[in-house]
Every structure is written in structure tokens, then in C-alpha cells.
Amino acid sequence: MAKIDMAMPQMGESIAEGTILKWLKKAGDKIERDETILEISTDKVDSEIPAPVSGVITDILVEEGKTVNVGAVIAKIETDASAASSTGNGKAASVAAPLPPAPKEESKPATQPPVSVPAPAVALQVVAQEDDRFYSPLVRAIAKEEKISSAELATISGTGAGGRVTKNDMMAYLKQRTALKPAVAPAAPAMPAVPSVAAKPAAPPAVVYDQGRVEIVPMDNMRRRIAEHMVMSKQTSPHVYSVSTCDMTKIAQYRERVKNEFEKREGTKLTFTPFFIDATARALKDFPMINSSLDSGNIVFKKFINIGIAVALENGLIVPVIKSADALNLVGLARATNDIAHRARNKQLKPDEVQGGTFSITNMGSFGNLFGIPVINQPQVAILGIGAIKKTPVVVGDGIAIRDIVHLSLSYDHRIIDGAYGGQFLQRVVEYLEAFELPR
């Protein structure tokens, strides 16, 4: 028999840690290779993780709700004798799940030296830092963005495995640091300067609830991550908003006429979303600043158009990305949109399918809302909100007509996008939608 260390898998190039959401197996349970044994959550996506090998789970080392770095051992699996030959001298081998199928090895004579198996490529390489603590790429990126020096970083207490600093630790520290800033200023010109080290403000008194009248439910992992991302976006970007109305009558009439035939022919439904994606992709080419991001003092113009589509889940929201959206026709966009929405609701998205977006679209109209003002999906600089398409009496020429009208809203980062540029982009989207021509 041999024991295998199961490590937290790398769920994407930029992901440095993951949270155990739920163990589907317990210590002592027998498992088969590729059988789902736990669910994890990262900054990007929730995923079901299969067993890397067949055997028995002997130890579960990280309990549900805990966040650990990629490469950290989360469980131990006891394999059969044939697996033991691959570990050499009966020592435990470390594997990260999921792993590709391993080729079967022929049994070796007892006199032959043991075979040494290199560590998986996905295992995290821990590099010693200046203060002998490991900092994940995510923590390093936050420190760089917030101009936190190495010396200051070393003073932050960590709640992660082995005292490591996590993203939550960084956000809590930044919140505290912001709260302390007023305290270090002089109280008044005539008064002596306040000491350089300000006392930590007293914590607010705990709120006592009447347990008979309220129910207290902790935020789940997805809700906490959404909250952190939304707060970070508002703190990062000064949001400005523009709203326009758009006449969707030509598109609505076309869709109503062809939707049944389209579904039979293409095997997927024709919704309004592909029309909005197509118009947005064309407008992004006309206004490339909207398809950019800000890196310190530099504007990074993206020469590709990857559009994220917000999908409402039972307990939150996720934004899968349609890569190279400008290269797809209406049929391709319809298939891509329906596919990622279906897999998002069934937790089947891959990590790279929620990364790399350059612009996002969210549809509040699917719930009947007239329009909404969305929060920018960082590090993007703008997001389009789509309201409900409603039959509305409008002035056409010198008369009144009933038209299919939608309200479109654009939230954009005022650090690099002014009102004129943002408003012109939004109006260009409207122009492309209203000038819709039948597909050839």
C-alpha cells in the first residue's frame, strides 16, 4: 500500500488559492479515479474536483470553508500495491487533482532501483521572500496596486495556512489603513502634531439581535467574493453613467419570425443577447478606449474583443467570457451564449472561461426591469446594462407609433473615459442595433 498526498489544484494561471466548499467523501471512504470527491471555489469559478487516483481517503486535512494556497496538501489517499511502485521506496507522492490518466507501469524486479516520479507541473513552487514568508501572486498584485512596501507587507497578519497572508487579510488591512488615515493628521494648526503611530480605533460594539425575531445566516463563499469584488471596483474606479433608448422593433420582428425555424435548424435558441453582443463588438472597434484597461499610469489597449456575459445563479452571479466575439456571426454568438449560460448554471465552466474578458454585458431586462446601473467588472473600464424590451408609444416623424423600446446603460471608468467618449460609444451601439440588416 502507498499513501498519496492530494494537493489543492491550480485552477488557472492567475489563481493562487482556493476554498474548500464541500467534501463529498469522508475519511475511510473508497474512491475511484475521476470520481468527484469535493467542490472548491476560487476567485474565478466554483469547480467539482475528481479523485486523482483510486483508493481510500485516509485523512482530510483541510475542512470545509477553509482557504489554502495552490499546492497545499488537502487530503491523503491510500492506493493499492500497484500504485505504490510509482512512488519509490513506499514514500508518499504528492499529486494535484485533477491529473491526466497515467500510463500503467510494468512490475519491476526487486533488485531494480525504485522509479522516481517528478512532482506534477501544476504543483506550486514556493519561493522564499525577503521576510521568509510566502506571498501569493494575488497578494503581491494587491500590494503593488495599493503601493504597499515589502516592509509594510511583512507587518500584515495572515490567517491562511501556516500564517500566510490571504486576499481577505489584504482587504481587511486596506480597510483598516483607510480608516486610520484621518487619525494621523494634526488635530488643529495650534495643537502639537499627533504621534506618527496612531492608536487603533476601538471596535464598534457588537450588535445584539433578538434571536426570536431574526435569522442570522453567514454569507457563503460566492457571496463574499462578489461583495469583495464589488467594493474593490467602487474603490478603484470613479463610476460615471450614461443611458440611452434604442428602437429594437426591426430585430424583435425578425426574431419573432425566424426563432422557431432557427432553433430547428441550428439546435439552439435565438435570444436577443447575440444581437447586443454583435452591436457591442462592432462599437468597441470604433471606440478602442472602451476595450482597454488601466495599469498604473498606462492605458493597455486590447487588440482582441472578449465579451463577458453576466449569468445569474441561484446564489450569486458569474461572468463567463465569449472569446473573440467579434469573429462570430449571429449563429455562432447564439450557440456560444446559450452554451456558457447553461454550463455556468450547472457548474461546468472551466477556469479560463471566466478569465480574459475585455468588456462585459449584463441583462437586467430578463427580470422585467426597465434598466439598471451596473458596477464595472475590474480590471475592465466599462460595462453595458440592458433593460427590458417593452412595447412603447413613441413619436415617429409627426405621428405616434408603438415600438419595441429598450433602455441601455453604460457604466465607465472616469479615470480614462470622459462623458463625451462614453456617451458616443453607447450611441454607436444604439445605431448598430437600429440599423440591423437581415443576415445573409
Pick the CATH number of 2-96 from 3.40.640.10, 2.40.50.100, 3.40.50.2300, 3.30.450.20: 2.40.50.100
Indicate the domain borders of the chain: 2-96, 126-179, 239-434
Kindly report the backbone phi and psi dihedral angles of residue 21, in degrees, each rounded to the nearest multiple of 5, phi listed first: -85, -45
- Specify the DSSP class assigned to residue 290: G
CB contact burial 145-179 (16+ within 10 A = b; e otherwise): eeebeeeebeebebebbeebbbbebbbebbeeeee
Highest mean pLDDT among 45-49, 100-104, 347-351: 347-351
Average pLDDT over residues 4-10: 84
Q: How far is CA 389 from CA 24, 207, 244, 402, in A?
A: 43, 44, 13, 12
Highest mean pLDDT among 27-41, 81-95, 131-145, 332-346: 332-346
**pLDDT at position 335, please?**
97
Average pLDDT over residues 283-288: 98
pTM beyond 0.85: the answer is no
Query: What is the pairing mode between strands 17-23 and 36-41?
Result: antiparallel
Lowest mean pLDDT segment, chosen from 33-42, 173-182, 417-426: 173-182
Active site residues: 414, 418
Query: Mean pLDDT over all residues of the chain?
Result: 81
Q: How far is CA 148 from CA 43, 54, 122, 142, 179, in A?
A: 22, 45, 29, 8, 16
**pLDDT at position 110, please?**
42
Lowest mean pLDDT segment, chosen from 7-21, 23-37, 94-108, 260-274: 94-108
Neighbours of 37 (CB within 10 A): 23
User: Grid coordinates 408603438 are at which residue?
Assistant: 402
pLDDT at 360 over 90: yes
Quote the CATH superfamily of domain 126-179. Answer: E3-binding domain (4.10.320.10)
Distance CA 335, CA 59 (A): 43
Neighbours of 317 (CB within 10 A): 15
355 vs 255, which has greater pLDDT? 255
| Second CATH level (architecture) for the domain 239-434 | 2-Layer Sandwich (3.30)
